Structure 1
């Protein structure tokens, strides 16, 4: 019985320790995410500059920029959805500058039923926004349906290759050519998924339950030995 009591105690303490460590790890992740959000918010609203000649992800992510030129009519459509609106598409358009640069611009969201109502070829436009290299693609993301010009994630590299543009995305904050039904979707730190607190609470609650169950088990074992 003594060996059983000690084994149950070790098992219980180990389980509680693991669950608590997961909870504290999520709390550290929460601190990191909040710091990242503050960093993004502090940068995205700075005065915009010209798009660097050689944009670098590590140096220039979220850099506020401005660009002028013509929307060529070339675009990629990314399957998306918006709460309270429903399914739709992100419009990734090619902006050709007077210097001949071809930039990818995330112009925002359009409801799926109104895809054809967005004018794609527009002259003399001015865009203000932020550079980004979205990490939307994962191992479960389907390959794009090039026949329908439908993508399932924003992926600047392959999109740039398909549209013969630079491999960087300018996410519009202000688009002089934007009009209904197109809804501009600027970068915002608060839009980052931040559910670490909920996960931490879950792990801590599980640790509490595990501790209570362990105490109850030890009590039962001890009673049987009396």
Structure 2
């Protein structure tokens, strides 16, 4: 009898804990979907003038319009698109009419167009503020001499191009053969898969417990 009670306690505790993890992932799923919905709403809201001191949390994805001129100072970020293959994002220093200097992600060019001369010129840009999460601990350091970057590190690029640590991702093409890559809500959302995994493990644990109880019973017969 003691063995049976022990198996039941272990089975209930293990199954309950795994089920709780599954429900927790469903709660995380709802939270993440809320973040994505809020970001999508922000991305498509009307554009406003560039805030004096944009906040990476509050102003992420905020649509803005800036007027001024592109300089010829650029950073090239290695990337790839499903439609066009490998290429580079062109990040350009932009001088606003009121004397600020910011970064503009103008979009994609093929590898062969990376070093095409792009002289500075006046422009008005509508896009979305963003501080992309491209750089992780495994991202290689940029090759400054070759002007090749492996992620959009806003702080490092701002220091290199002598701008504010502020990036606007252009919504529409800004010329010079560059294809705009508008901002999207970039959130990983694997919580549904995780919840299914935990519920599956709970089912396996319950099945193992039933098998264990069956073995105890057959040994006692």
* Same fold (TM > 0.5): yes
In structure 1, the partner of 2:188 is 193
Shift of the alpha carbon at 1:64? Answer: 0.8
Structure 1 residues not aligned, in runs of 5+: none
Shift of the alpha carbon at 1:115? Answer: 2.1
Shift of the alpha carbon at 1:146? Answer: 1.2
5 Å matches for 1:142-157?
142-157=140-155
DSSP 3-state at the match of 2:219: helix
Are the equivalent residues in 1 in contact too, given 2:91–2:105 (CA < 8 A)? yes
Are the equivalent residues in 1 in contact too, given 2:154–2:167 (CA < 8 A)? yes
- Please list every run of at least 4 consecutive aligned residues from structure 1 whose deviation after the TM superposition is greater than 4 angstroms: none
Task: Give distance in 2, aligned partners of 1:6 and 1:223.
Answer: 16
DSSP 3-state at the match of 1:218: helix
5 Å matches for 1:92-111?
92-111=91-110
Shift of the alpha carbon at 1:157? Answer: 0.9
Per-residue CA deviation, residues 102-144 of structure 1 (Å, 9 max, x unaligned), is: 1101112233344234x53341222111111222322222222
Structure 2 residues not aligned, in runs of 5+: none
Task: Give distance in 2, aligned partners of 1:129 and 1:218.
Answer: 63
In structure 2, the partner of 1:85 is 84
Task: Give distance in 2, aligned partners of 1:132 and 1:169.
Answer: 6
Residue 210 (structure 2) pairs with residue 215 (structure 1): yes
Residue 128 (structure 2) pairs with residue 126 (structure 1): no
TM-score normalised by the chain length of structure 1: 0.87
Instruction: Count matched residues.
Output: 221
In structure 2, the partner of 1:32 is 31
Shift of the alpha carbon at 1:99? Answer: 2.5
TM-score normalised by the chain length of structure 2: 0.89
Shift of the alpha carbon at 1:65? Answer: 0.3
DSSP 3-state at the match of 2:179: coil
Per-residue CA deviation, residues 26-46 of structure 1 (Å, 9 max, x unaligned), is: 111111111111111212222
